[in-house]
């Protein structure tokens, strides 16, 4: 499965945007994803890739999982997947 492509699809769906509107440098905030959209995105990603993201929705700044950009999210997911193998 192409992690980058699937993550971008999930984020685009949550932001109600076209896939082409989501770039690796995009931020969730810049895409208009609010805290509820963030949580829904994380749930969708966890379900899709069968992983657990170490993310505290109540205090995102204290998380070890970087959500600063789409590329950071993809990097974190790829790392979690490789740790499971």
Sign of CA dihedral 85, 65, 42, 76: negative
Structure confidence at residue 52 (pLDDT)? 92
Query: What is the per-residue pLDDT across 4-20, written as a single tens digit (0 to 9) for each?
Result: 999 999 999 999 999 99
Residue 51: pLDDT over 80: yes
Nearest-angstrom CA–CA distance, 30 and 37: 13
What are the structural domains, with CATH classification, of the chain? 3-84 (1.10.1200.10)
Per-chain mean pLDDT for the chain: 91
Query: What is the per-residue pLDDT across 57-83, written as a single tens digit (0 to 9) for each?
Result: 566 667 778 888 999 999 999 999 999
Nearest-angstrom CA–CA distance, 4 and 25: 12
**pTM to 2 decimals?**
0.88
């Amino acid at each position: 499965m192409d992690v980058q492509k699937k993550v971008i699809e999930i984020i685009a769906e949550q932001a109600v945007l076209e896939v082409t509107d989501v770039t690796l440098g995009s931020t969730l905030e810049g895409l208009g994803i609010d805290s509820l959209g963030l949580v829904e995105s994380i749930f969708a990603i966890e379900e899709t890739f069968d992983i657990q993201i170490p993310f505290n929705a109540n205090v995102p700044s204290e998380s070890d999982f970087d959500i600063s950009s789409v590329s950071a999210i993809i990097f974190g997911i790829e790392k979690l997947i490789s740790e499971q193998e």
